[in-house]
Amino acid sequence: MKQSHSPPMMPKVVHRGPGDVSPRLNKPDSGSMQIRTSYDEMIPSVTEPSARFYIDVMKIFLALYEGTLSLEEAVSAAETLKENPEYAKYAIDPTLIPLTEEYKERIVSNLQTLKKFNLFTRDSVKSAFTFALLTPDTPISKTDLQILKILEKNPLTTLVDAADAIGATPRTIARSIERLERNYFLRVAGFVDMTSFGAHSHILFFTLAEGIDWEEVEEGLALYPFTKNILKTTMTDLGYASFLIPGPDENLSLFADHVSDLSAILFDYSSLHVQEATGSNSNMYLLKNDQWQFSDAMLKIDEDDEASEGDGQMRLLECRGWQRGLNANDFIVTAEYSKALRNPPRVLRENLRMEGWDFDAKQIAQSIRKSHDRGLILPFLSYSGLGLPTNFCFEIICNREWQDRILRAVVHLPSVTYYLSARGIILWVQVPSHQQVEYYRAFRALEDFEGVRSVQPIMTILLKGSRSELDFVRYWRFGSKGWTVDPELLNLGSYFPY
C-alpha cells in the first residue's frame, strides 16, 4: 500500500523575464486544460492525471495548428505540462511538433478511436499520441544525401561553403535543409559540458527486486526534482533513470549514498554511471541506393582498425569540471542554444523571452562565443525516417582499453550516441531492422573478452527527450563554483513509500 510522504520543497529562483504571459486557458477541477479547438467533440474526457497529460499535449498541438492558440500562448501552456509528473517519463514539447496536415490528421483520427472504444487509460492515450508521430521511412534524394554527408562532417557549415562543396547555389542548400527538416526531422543540436557550470549527469541502470512494483518506482523517480528521464520496457527487466545533480562534490557523494541505500531495497541489480564524456556519430556513407550496409569491421572490434575515408567521425565532448568566468546567464543561453544550433540569434532571443528570460542580442552573442571558445558544446545531427527503426541501448561495463576500442568502432555504425563513465560506456544505437541480429551479436560477443565485465542490452529503445536543463535551474542557486542546492533536497529516498 502506498504511504503518503512530503518531499522537501524546492526554493524557486526568479530570473528576469518579459512579463507574465496570460494564455486563454485555465485548469478547472478536472485538471484538463481549457483550450478551444474545432475538434473538441472528438477529444475524450479523462480524469487520470497521466492520461490527461497526453490529451493536453494533443490539444495544444491542435489549437496551435488551427490558430486558436498563439505560439506564445502555446509555449506558456507547454510550461504547465511540466508540472505533471508524467513529463519526467515522456518529456515532449507540443510546440516542437511540425505543424503539418499529416500529423493533424493522425492525431484527430487516433483521438476519434479512443473516444469510440472508450479507451481512457494512460497507456491507450499515450499510444494514440506516440503512434501519430511515427515517421515513415522515405527514400532520400541524391542532393539531400549529399547535404547530410556535409552536415555530418561539419554540422555548422555555412550555406556558401556547403554550396561550394557540391557545386550548387546557397539557395539550393537552404531548400535541401528545409526538406530534411520537414521530411526527416533533421535538427542540429549540441551536447553541453554541464560540469563546467557545476552540474553533473548521472545514469542509474537497474532491475527491480522481487515484489517491487514498477509503477511505484516510476512515480517516485518522476517526482524527484533532479530526474531527467526514466525508461523501462516490457521486453526486458533492465531499466534506467538519468539525473542532473548540482555540486559541490559533497552533493555528488551524498546523492551516490542515497542511490546505494535505495538500491539495497528496490533493486536486484543497480549500476550508477557519472558522466565523464559524451558524443554522437552517424555514418551516411553506409547508406547506398537507399539500403544501409553492414560494416564487417563491427565483427572485429577486438582488433586495431584504421578508419577509412568513408567512415564516420568519432566526436567526443569531455567533462572538464567547473570553469572560472562562467555565469548563470551563460548557462541559460547555452542550454537554449544547444537545442537548435542553426537557429539565428533573433529566434534564440525570442525562445528565451517566451521561457521567461530577457537577453539582448549582445549578451546572447557573447555567451555563445564563450561556449564555443571554451569547447563547452559539441554539435551533432538528429534525424529520423531514414530506415533505422531498430534501437538498442547497451550498458557495457569495461576497462579504459575497451572503452577506447569501442569508441574506435562506433564510426562503423549508422547512428549512435555514447556516454562514458568510470564504469564503462553506454551506447544508444539505431540500425536497420534486417541487421538487428548482427549488431546485437556483435556487442553481446564483447563479453567473451577480458576487460569487458558485462554487456546489458535493452532492445527497441531510442534515446528520447528529457527535462531540459532550464527546467532544473529555475530552482537552483548559482554560486562561486556553479550551480548548487542544499544537500537535504537530494534525498532520493523521501520520494518512495519504502
Question: In the 8-state DSSP scheme, what is residue 83?
Answer: T
Distance of CA 462 to the CA centre of its chain: 9
Question: In the 8-state DSSP scheme, what is residue 82?
Answer: T
CA dist list (Å): 212 to 216, 221, 250, 379: 8, 14, 30, 40
SS3 311: coil
Report how far residue 487's alpha carbon sits from residue 493's, in angstroms, rounded to the nearest whole number.
13
User: Could you read off the pLDDT of 319-368 as tens digits, one per residue?
Assistant: 999 999 999 999 999 999 999 999 888 899 999 998 889 999 899 999 99
What kind of architecture, by CATH, is found in domain 142-184? Answer: Orthogonal Bundle (1.10)
User: Residue 315, exposed/middle/buried by CB under 10 A (0-12, 13-18, 19+)?
Assistant: middle
Instruction: Express as a percent the part of the chain with pLDDT over 90.
Output: 62
- 140 and 386 in contact (C-beta within 8 Å)? yes
CA angle, 23 then 97 then 180, to 5°: 145
For 457, residues 6+ apart whose C-beta sits below 8 A from its C-beta are 236, 238, 392, 393, 394, 440, 443, 444
Three cell numbers at 379? Answer: 554539435
What's the pLDDT band for 18 if we cut at 50, 70, 90? very low
* 187 strand-pairing partners: 382
Global pTM value: 0.81
- 440 and 447 in contact (C-beta within 8 Å)? no
Output the pLDDT for position 29.
35
Report how far residue 115's alpha carbon sits from residue 111's, in angstroms, rounded to the nearest whole number.
6
Average predicted confidence (pLDDT) for the chain: 87
For 14, residues 6+ apart whose C-beta sits below 8 A from its C-beta are none
CA dist list (Å): 383 to 141, 186, 358, 379, 448: 15, 4, 31, 13, 34
User: Could you read off the pLDDT of 79-94 as tens digits, one per residue?
Assistant: 899 889 898 888 888 9
CA dist list (Å): 450 to 302, 405, 426: 10, 13, 18
User: Could you read off the pLDDT of 259-284 as tens digits, one per residue?
Assistant: 999 999 999 999 999 999 999 999 99
CA dist list (Å): 342 to 110, 298, 336, 348, 470: 34, 33, 12, 10, 19
User: Could you read off the pLDDT of 415-439 as tens digits, one per residue?
Assistant: 999 999 999 999 999 998 889 889 9
What's the pLDDT band for 183 if we cut at 50, 70, 90? confident
Alpha helices in 272-323 (DSSP H): none
User: Could you read off the pLDDT of 471-498 as tens digits, one per residue?
Assistant: 899 889 999 999 999 999 999 999 998 7
Quick one: which of 271, 261, 266 has its CA closest to 214? Answer: 266
Output the pLDDT for position 89.
84
SS3 328: helix
What does the H/E/C string look like for 212-231?
Answer: CCHHHHHHHHHHCCCEEEEE
Residue 245 falls in which region: left (phi positive, over 0), alpha (psi -120 to 50) or beta = beta
Question: In the 8-state DSSP scheme, what is residue 112?
Answer: H
Distance of CA 74 to the CA centre of its chain: 21
Question: In the 8-state DSSP scheme, what is residue 45?
Answer: P
- 336 and 349 in contact (C-beta within 8 Å)? no
Quick one: which of 387, 409, 396 has its CA closest to 458? Answer: 396
The domain ranges of the chain are: 40-132, 142-184, 187-326+374-498, 327-373
Output the pLDDT for position 247.
94
Three cell numbers at 318? Answer: 569531455
